[in-house]
Amino acid sequence: MFIETVQGKGSYVSAPNRELARERRLRAAEEGLSRAVLEARGVGLSLYELTEMLATLWKENDHG
């Protein structure tokens, strides 16, 4: 959130910037995936195995 100043009216806390919030969440997801890649490589998983694991987890957590 940011402080917005409107001349003649004062300062207000602005509404959350959805794009900024999305960027933060994307960055967090990327960091988590980077850690997962390092762990997967550490135990010798192939890219295919990691992709299959991610697909399985995605389907298990699908609430749509």
pLDDT at position 1: 62
Does this model's pTM top 0.75? My answer is no
Question: Using one digit for the tens of pLDDT, what is the confidence trace for 1-17?
Answer: 677 788 888 888 877 77
Say how far apart CA 35 and CA 51 lie, in whole Å: 14
Name the residue among 24, 30, 1, 23 with its Cα closest to residue 13.
1
